[in-house]
Structure 1
């Protein structure tokens, strides 16, 4: 599994992957929330981070990570490959090559919180609202 830089031409495929992953793991997010976040993700979030991805042999993106100033801002995996090491590979790359030491996780996504804790992150704080002021509690974690 090679980790590659992501270019803007991949944003539509990455947005599809984001939606696939969110639908599989974020059952607390409504259809309206997904539609609200999609333009923000592609127009603001993707360009604001260093993006790296893992692709399969045919060149399809299996997962991606976005890091900004030592913080993992996003890590999403295609649901069909969850549990196959893609997320671990991306996280290790972010830690080793992008100096990532922090991450915020939706408290209502226990699979993600457990994954980061398994990988050595500890919860240091909790916020009742996300960055958009929505009622999605956030766990602030660090290595």
Structure 2
């Protein structure tokens, strides 16, 4: 698996992967909130180290890092459940020293994925960072 740093030319690809992934995994989001978040993404991307991830020559997802915090990890929905997320996460831990992650509590598959990968819940907020009614779990890698 390979990755490369995203550029401004990749924004439409990132938004496309994000939108398809969210449609497949974030059923708890209201349509209005999903549309609002979609508009926020291009404003947020310059503030994180965004990596595009490739397998067999095709882009399968992206991640966003801020210091040692994983801000986002989204896979093409057709690639979910094939081990790519685990490979990416292990690479992020090993090569980028990821220690913490925030995840929507209502995204049960993601919560199970991170817990199974060695993260532990250290705190919970009742809303997301924008005050929307989506509880956030703050996770820390158990080895740190």
TM-score category (smaller protein): over 0.9
C-alpha distance in 1 between matches for 2:51 and 2:120: 24
CA-CA distance at 1:57 after TM superposition: 3.8
Residue 7, structure 1, aligned to residue 7, structure 2: yes
C-alpha distance in 2 between matches for 1:121 and 1:5: 25
User: 1:90 corresponds to which residue?
Assistant: 88
TM-score (structure 2 length as normaliser):
0.93
User: 2:46 corresponds to which residue?
Assistant: 47
Give the 4+ runs in structure 1 shifted more than 6 A.
none
On the 8 A contact 1:12/1:42 being kept in 2, the answer is no
C-alpha distance in 1 between matches for 2:131 and 2:39: 17
Q: How many residues align?
A: 141
User: 1:100 corresponds to which residue?
Assistant: 98
CA-CA distance at 1:11 after TM superposition: 1.1
C-alpha distance in 2 between matches for 1:94 and 1:129: 26
CA-CA distance at 1:91 after TM superposition: 1.0
The 3-state SS of whatever aligns with 2:86 is helix
CA-CA distance at 1:28 after TM superposition: 0.6
TM-score (structure 1 length as normaliser):
0.93
Name structure 2 gaps, 5 residues minimum.
none
User: 1:120 corresponds to which residue?
Assistant: 118
On the 8 A contact 1:64/1:90 being kept in 2, the answer is no
On the 8 A contact 1:49/1:68 being kept in 2, the answer is yes
Kindly provide the CA deviation profile for residues 56-108 of structure 1, in whole angstroms up to 9, marking residues without a partner as x: 445x4211111101100000011101011221122112111211100001000
Name structure 1 gaps, 5 residues minimum.
none
